C-alpha cells in the first residue's frame, strides 16, 4: 500500500536581489527587486507502508523543503502531494495526527519546563489512551535511556539527550509515518548508533514508514532499504540501496559515490 505519493512537486522561493554597497542598499529600500529560486523542480516518487527511505543530497539540494511540503507546513508552488490519501497542506491538522517529525536543529520540547510535561501534553493533544501512553513511555525510557533527565527542563539537556527525547516525543502517538530531517546532526558516535538502532526497531516492529535525511552515510546504509538522491531540486537516483553500486560501479562505498556525485555538481 502506498502511504505517500508525490507528483511533479515544485517549490519556488522569492529571493531578494540586492546590489552591493550603500547605494545598493538604499536602492533596495526604495524599490526592492526580487528574483525566483526554484528549490524543488518537479519531483515525483511514491513510498509504500513500512519502507524506510533515505533522502540524500548536498546542502541546499531541496531535501528540507521537500520534507516541509510533505508534512503540510509549506505550500507547494506546483504539483501534488498525498499522504495516506489526503493533501497535507489543506488537511494540515488531520495530517499531523498520522505523522511524526523530528528536526535535528529544532526541538519540540518546551524549553523551560520539565521534559515529562511535554510528554504529558502530547498525550493530551494526540488523545493517546492511558495504557498505550504508559506502554510506549516504558519502552522509550528503556531503549532511549530517558530516565536520567525526564525531570529537567529542555534547556538543561545535552544535545544527545535532547534528540533522544525529541525522538520519543515524535513517536509517542505511534504515527504510521515518521519524517526525520538530519536527526543526528552534531551527535557523538555512541548516541548516533543508539538512535539508528531505535529507528530500525521501530521500522521492523511497528512497520513505521521512515523518510529521513542525513549525512551519515554508513548509518543510512544499514537502516534504509531505499535511496533517493536529490540534486538541485531534481531526483538523480531513486532505487533500492544496493542498486546504486550497479549504477556507479567505479565507487566502492556509498561515501565514494556520493562524494563523486556532489563534486560533479559543483563542477557542472
Partner 1 sequence: MKKYMAYMRCGFLEGCAYRSNFITGMLANFIQAAVLYYVWRSIFRYQGVVNGYTWEIMRKYVFVAFLCNCSFSFGFEMNTAKRIIKGDIILDLLKPVPYRGMLFFRMLGTAGMEFGVTLILVGCLYLSVNGAAGIRLERVLLFLVSLFLGMGIKFGIQYLFSLLCFYTDNSYGVTKAREVLTNFFSGAILPLVMFPGGLRRVVEALPFQGIVFTPCSIFIGTFSMEESLRGIAVQAVWIGILWVFGVLFWKKASGVISLYGG
Task: Tell me how many residues contact partner 1 (CB under 8 A).
Answer: 36
Q: Is 106 in the site for partner 1 (CB under 8 A)?
A: yes
Q: SS3 for 143?
A: helix
Q: Is 81 in the site for partner 1 (CB under 8 A)?
A: no
- For 6, what's the count of Cα atoms within 13 Å in the CB-facing half-sphere? 25
> Of 47, 54, 101, 212, which one interacts with partner 1 (CB under 8 A)?
101
Distance in Å, CB of 122 to partner 1, minimum: 9
Distance in Å, CB of 75 to partner 1, minimum: 6
Q: Is 213 in the site for partner 1 (CB under 8 A)?
A: no
C-alpha distance from residue 53 to each of 28, 153, 167, 177 (Å): 43, 33, 17, 11
Residue among 136 and 227 whose Cβ is closer to partner 1: 136
CB atoms within 10 A of CB 24: 12
Q: Is 162 in the site for partner 1 (CB under 8 A)?
A: no
Region binding partner 1 by CB under 8 A among candidate stretches 19-27, 65-73, 79-87, 183-191: 65-73
> Of 10, 28, 121, 215, which one interacts with partner 1 (CB under 8 A)?
121
The C-alpha cell that represents 77 in the structure block: 508552488
The C-alpha cell that represents 58 in the structure block: 548536498
Distance in Å, CB of 177 to partner 1, minimum: 12
Distance in Å, CB of 207 to partner 1, minimum: 22
Contact 183, 168 (CB under 8 A): no
Indicate the DSSP class of residue 241.
T
Q: 211 forms bridges with which residues in the sheet? A: 53, 179
Q: Is 131 in the site for partner 1 (CB under 8 A)?
A: no
Distance in Å, CB of 110 to partner 1, minimum: 6
Q: Is 92 in the site for partner 1 (CB under 8 A)?
A: yes
Residue among 121 and 236 whose Cβ is closer to partner 1: 121
The C-alpha cell that represents 62 in the structure block: 531541496
Q: Is 97 in the site for partner 1 (CB under 8 A)?
A: yes
The interface with partner 1 within residues 40-59 (CB under 8 A) comprises none
CA angle 225, 230, 232 (to 5 degrees): 175
**Alpha-carbon gap, residue 148 to 152, rounded angstroms:** 9
Closest CA to 178 of 260, 39, 70: 70
Annotate 141-154 with b (16+ C-beta within 10 A) or e (fewer). Answer: eebbebeebbeebb
Q: For binding to partner 1 (CB under 8 A), which residues are involved?
A: 11, 13-14, 39, 64-65, 68, 71-75, 92-94, 96-97, 99, 101, 103, 106-108, 110, 112-113, 117-118, 120-121, 123-127, 153
Amino acid at each position: 500500500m502506498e502511504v505517500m505519493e508525490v507528483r511533479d512537486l515544485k517549490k519556488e522561493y522569492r529571493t531578494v536581489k540586492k546590489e552591493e554597497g550603500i547605494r545598493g542598499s538604499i536602492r533596495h529600500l526604495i524599490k526592492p527587486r526580487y528574483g525566483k529560486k526554484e528549490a524543488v523542480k518537479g519531483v515525483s516518487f511514491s513510498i509504500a507502508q513500512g519502507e524506510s527511505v533515505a533522502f540524500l543530497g548536498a546542502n541546499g539540494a531541496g531535501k528540507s523543503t521537500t520534507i516541509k511540503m510533505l508534512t503540510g507546513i509549506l505550500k507547494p508552488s506546483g504539483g501534488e502531494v498525498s499522504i495516506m490519501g489526503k493533501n497535507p497542506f489543506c488537511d494540515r491538522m488531520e495530517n499531523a495526527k498520522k505523522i511524526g517529525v523530528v528536526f535535528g536543529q529544532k526541538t519540540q520540547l518546551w524549553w523551560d519546563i520539565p521534559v515529562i510535561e511535554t510528554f504529558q501534553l502530547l498525550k493530551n493533544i494526540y488523545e493517546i489512551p492511558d495504557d498505550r501512553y504508559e506502554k510506549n513511555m516504558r519502552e522509550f525510557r528503556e531503549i532511549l535511556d530517558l530516565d536520567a533527565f525526564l525531570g529537567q527542563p529542555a534547556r538543561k539537556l545535552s544535545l544527545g539527550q535532547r534528540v533522544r527525547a525529541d525522538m520519543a516525543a515524535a513517536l509517542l502517538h505511534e504515527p504510521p509515518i515518521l519524517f526525520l530531517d538530519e536527526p543526528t546532526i552534531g551527535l557523538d558516535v555512541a548516541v548516533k548508533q543508539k538512535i539508528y538502532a531505535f529507528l530500525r526497531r521501530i521500522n521492523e516492529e511497528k512497520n513505521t514508514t521512515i523518510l529521513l535525511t542525513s549525512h551519515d552515510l554508513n548509518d543510512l546504509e544499514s537502516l534504509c532499504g531505499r535511496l533517493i538522491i536529490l540534486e538541485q531540486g531534481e531526483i538523480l537516483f531513486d532505487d533500492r540501496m544496493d542498486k546504486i553500486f550497479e549504477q556507479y560501479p567505479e565507487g566502492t562505498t556509498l561515501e565514494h559515490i556520493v562524494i563523486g556525485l556532489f563534486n560533479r555538481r559543483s563542477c557542472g
